[in-house]
Amino acid sequence: MNPVTTELPPAPAKPKKPALVDALKPDDVRALKAFADAKVKHPKLLDIIQDLRSLLTANTDSNIIVITGATGVGKTTLSRELSRVCQELFRDTLEGDPSAIPAVWVEAYANGDRQHGFKSLYEDLLKQLLEPGMNQKHLAEVKDGRLSIKSQGRATIPTLRNAVEASLCKRKTVVCAIDEAYHLLRFANESAVMDTFKSLANTTGAKFVLIGSFDLFDLVAAQGQVARRAVVLNFDRYHIDKPEDVEAFKTVVTKLQAKWPCAQVPNFKVIGLELMEAALGCVGLLKSLMLEAAAMQMANNGKWEGRFLAKAAKANRLREIIRKEIEAGEAKVRDALLGECLWNEDKLAELTARMEAGNA
């Protein structure tokens, strides 16, 4: 007798929730994208840009500029603004030589490769420097006193480094900005990374701007030779215990509210202080919060509901992780920033008075 088998009927498939993008109309998607791309200039951003203007145009030994900042402070916006400023600063160079590329930007992205971080970086730099036909070019490397010729496809890190050095000189590059530069620490120790940039800066005259998290400070602290040639800037957040910061942050909230992508505009201005607390004083985190809330409102046929705030804000535990990371990073770079020297305000006033008296 054949055994009797009982087959259970298949469980009914759970209905799939539509993706948020699918729930939005094309006009809503475009409006949300415009809000995401909206830029707001604010005092902390303008302050660091002003410092960079001076550092990038000065002919000094400070040829490695490290820009640290909290996650969500707005470093991506800073990079875009820096790009615009460089176009303005080096306009004469561009007009005098159409082949010149005074400033280049690359990202030291994490690609899963733990051995060839600099190779990817060099290849991206060569693309930005508009070196045509790199796949067909033959690059030179001197090893053990012998000249070795390799195609770009088989190029080693030294051959790519030589090509980058030649291109930076040929293109009259003044600024080489590397975003997410802390990723390079996965491929080499601090001394090796900074020795590379120090060498490139010495041979090409370019200034290297390294942008990333507070971990970048470890690069500067690796050795005195690097510290001598480096300047550290911190893209600061707004601090809730400083009245001027609170007012500035509320102004940012007001400006973002004016760009709100929905017809029904929530009154964020009256809760500016609470938004500052939720975003830890970081404009980037504020923007993310408002962007999430806007997407929820659009998916709700444009009708605002207070629950969107709770869903858009970071969960308590995640926010606490971010807060601890920020405070530890701020402590790491304290007293290492541009302007934090051995003279306090009183001593500086005394020195200035003595210098002025000597010129009288």
Determine the Cα–Cα distance for residues 275 and 281; give it in Å rounded to an integer.
8
pLDDT the model gives residue 87: 87
**What is the average per-residue pLDDT within 79-85?**
88
H helix intervals, 17-139: 20-23, 26-37, 43-57, 75-89, 91-96, 117-128
Q: pLDDT (tens digit, 9 = 90+) per residue, 10-53?
A: 555 555 544 444 467 888 899 999 999 998 999 999 999 999 99
Amino acid at 179: D
Residue recorded with tokens 């088989």: 154
pLDDT band of residue 8 (cuts 50, 70, 90) is very low
**What is the average per-residue pLDDT within 306-320?**
95
**What is the average per-residue pLDDT within 63-85?**
90
Q: Average model confidence (pLDDT) for the chain?
A: 85
Other beta carbons within 10 angstroms of residue 245's beta carbon come to: 18
Other beta carbons within 10 angstroms of residue 325's beta carbon come to: 14
Are β-strands 64-69 and 103-107 bridged in parallel, bridged antiparallel, or unpaired?
unpaired
pLDDT band of residue 218 (cuts 50, 70, 90) is confident
Residue with more model confidence, 359 or 208: 208
pLDDT the model gives residue 222: 74
Q: pLDDT (tens digit, 9 = 90+) per residue, 248-295?
A: 999 999 999 999 999 999 999 999 999 999 999 999 999 999 999 999
Determine the Cα–Cα distance for residues 79 and 72; give it in Å rounded to an integer.
13
pLDDT the model gives residue 21: 42
Reply yes or no on whether the pLDDT at 174 is more than 60: yes
Q: What percent of the chain has pLDDT over 70?
A: 84
Q: pLDDT (tens digit, 9 = 90+) per residue, 117-173?
A: 788 888 899 999 986 544 545 555 555 555 455 555 567 888 888 999 999 999 999
Please tell me the pTM assigned to this model: 0.81
pLDDT the model gives residue 336: 87
pLDDT the model gives residue 172: 92
